[in-house]
Amino acid sequence: MRYGPVRVGKLPLRMPGKLRILAIALGSILALIVIVVLGFVIWASRPLGPDGRALEALQDGPDLAVQRTDDSWLLFGHVADVYAGRVGWNGGSASARERTGIVFYPGGLVDHRSYAAFARLLATEGYSVVIVPAPLNLMVFAPDRALEVITRFSSIDRWVIAGHSLGAAMATNFVRRNPQLSRSGQLRAMVLLAGYPAEGWDLSSDPVSVLSISAEYDEVFNRESFENTVGLLPPDTVFSTIDRGNHAGFGDYGLQRGDGTARISTAEQQRVTVERIVDFLDRVLEF
């Protein structure tokens, strides 16, 4: 028995029953995959924030330089001045803090601009701060993006990687995947805001100095998982809690589903957070 050719988009009338069922099943599976992928892309492309406070912090001015690169990195402080061509790294004019770079990974499904006010506070303390965007607003798709920053701004003496929530987890992944940076002293510290390493990401013997900050009323943060991963961090890790703060208070993107209610303002939570980061870095970097 002979059958006519099978044409894409149209089933021949004489196709056997089993082949016809298989073709319909495969077509249905393919259509479902396309729908799921498109749905995920649409969902991930609608991040939280930024609010007005964050957008205001993106303004470049005489008091603090802020620049945006072609690939949407947000630069704050001395690194922004260098990028704009206003100053250079040479000549010894840059301070020790200005020659310390902080790369920040945003939280999952949060617009990276939402951390502009927080980054601006850090830069006001003298640090060169870089916030990187995430593909589809999820740093899990670009855990090594900090390496691009470190490579581009190679004149910066030492680096700190920081992140919030999923961004914090991906910061630990970056350290795990690039042990040569901390062993050489190029990457000196890591700051985790409401985040922790995934199970199996053992950094307990890594020389990087770690500060882990959580918030009292953070109900997004999984404390049981956090406690189970404490042993994965270096033994000298410093743990700190922001009294009366919550999960969303580390950024400026409004309310977050499932979060607790903060008893302090977002501005106050970020001020205290930056204060503790600066104290920590002053100790471990020995300014």
Residue 132 vs residues 89, 142, 216, 272, 284: alpha-carbon distances, Å: 21, 10, 27, 23, 24
Same domain, 56 and 73: yes
pTM, 2 dp:
0.87
- The CATH number linked to 182 is 3.40.50.1820
Domain tally, the chain: 2
Question: What does the pLDDT look like over 151-204, one tens digit per residue?
Answer: 999 999 899 999 999 999 999 999 999 999 999 999 999 999 999 999 999 999
pLDDT band at 51 (very low <50, low <70, confident <90, very high): very high
Q: Is the pLDDT score of 48 beyond 90?
A: yes
Structure confidence at residue 137 (pLDDT): 96
Same domain, 134 and 178: yes
Better-scored residue on pLDDT, 13 or 156? 156
Burial class (CB in 10 A: 0-12, 13-18, 19+), 80: buried
Same domain, 202 and 253: yes
Tokens of 127: 């640090």
Q: Is the pLDDT score of 1 beyond 50?
A: no
Same domain, 19 and 99: no
Q: Is the pLDDT score of 15 beyond 90?
A: no
Tokens of 254: 């409004």
CA nearest 262: which of 213, 219, 224, 212? 219
Question: What does the pLDDT look like over 270-287, one tens digit per residue?
Answer: 999 999 999 999 999 986
d(CA 125, CA 153): 19
Give me Rg for the CA atoms of the chain: 23
- What is the domain extent for residue 241? 51-284
Picking from 46, 62, 81, the residue at the C-terminal end of a domain is 46
Same domain, 39 and 58: no
Same domain, 253 and 123: yes
Same domain, 82 and 176: yes
Same domain, 20 and 146: no
Question: Average pLDDT for residues 53-60, to the nearest whole number?
Answer: 98
Same domain, 14 and 88: no
Q: Is the pLDDT score of 10 beyond 60?
A: no
Question: What does the pLDDT look like over 62-80, one tens digit per residue?
Answer: 999 999 999 999 999 999 9
